[in-house]
Amino acid sequence: MLVTEGDSPLGAALVRLFVARGYSVAAASDRVPHAAAGTNASPWSAVAADNAVRSPLALTWNRRSPVSARTVLLSVRNAFETLDEALILEPPFPAGSPLTEAASADIERAFDDSKGPVFLARELLGSFLAGGGGVISFVSGGPAAGPVESAAREAFRGLATALMASPGSGAIMANGFQCGAVDPEEYAAFIDRTLEEKARKITGRWFSFQPRGGFLQGVLRTSSNP
C-alpha cells in the first residue's frame, strides 16, 4: 500500500492505522520524515516501536517531477514486490490571502504541486492495468480558505472525479474521500473503515465525512458535485 503526504497529520494517521492492520505500507512525502526537535518520535512512532509490526517505508517524492513518481512506484515494488493499493492525498496548499495579496511564489507552488497527483495517478493506472487491477483512493481535505487554495483543490477534485468516472478498467477500484473541518485521526478512521466495508469493492464514488454528533457518511456519485 502507498500513502502520499505521509508526514502530514492525516497521512501519518493513515499510515499508523494501515501498518497496525498488518499491511506493508510505503509513505511518500516531499521530504523523508525525521524526529521532531528534542524527541525521538517520528510520525509513525506508535507503530514503529511495536516489534510485532513492520515499520513503514519512507520515500521522498518530488511532486513536480514525473520521474520521481515513477521512482516511487519502483521503490515500492523493489521493497514489497507488488503494489495493490494507493491513497493519493491532496497536497498542502497555501491558504488565506485574498487573491490581490497572494504572493506569486505561493500561486506557483500551489499549481506546481498539483502536478504530483496527476503524475502519480498516471503511473499507478499503468501499473494496475498491467498487473490486473488495484485500488486508488483520492483524499481531499477540508474547506478551502482562499481563492488560490480553492482553485488548486478544484484541480485535484477534477482529476479524481474524471478518473473515478472512467479509471480505464473494471479491475481498478477508484473512489474519493472528502470532509469538512474535522480531526485528522477521526477522518483517517473513517477512511480506513470505509475502505474495509465498501470502497475496495465498488468504484466511482465520493465518500463524505462530516461528524454531526457522531459519524455521518454520505455517498455521492461522480456525477454529483463533491
Q: Distance between CA atoms of 123 and 126, rounded to whole angstroms?
A: 5
Confidence at 100, pLDDT banded by 50, 70, 90: confident
Q: What pLDDT does 225 receive?
A: 42
> Is 182:142 a contact under the CB 8 Å cutoff?
yes
Model confidence pLDDT, tens digit, residues 130-171? 888 999 999 998 776 778 888 888 899 999 999 988 755 568
Average pLDDT over residues 78-92: 94
Is the pLDDT assigned to residue 67 strictly greater than 90? yes
Among the listed residues 154, 31, 135, 18, the one whose alpha carbon sits nearest the alpha carbon of residue 90: 154
Confidence at 53, pLDDT banded by 50, 70, 90: low
Q: Distance between CA atoms of 24 and 119, rounded to whole angstroms?
A: 23
Average pLDDT over residues 197-219: 76
Is the pLDDT assigned to residue 128 strictly greater than 60? yes
From residue 100, how far is each of 93, 103, 150, 162, 208 by CA, in Å?
A: 17, 9, 15, 31, 32
Phi, psi angles (nearest 5°) of residue 139: -115, 110
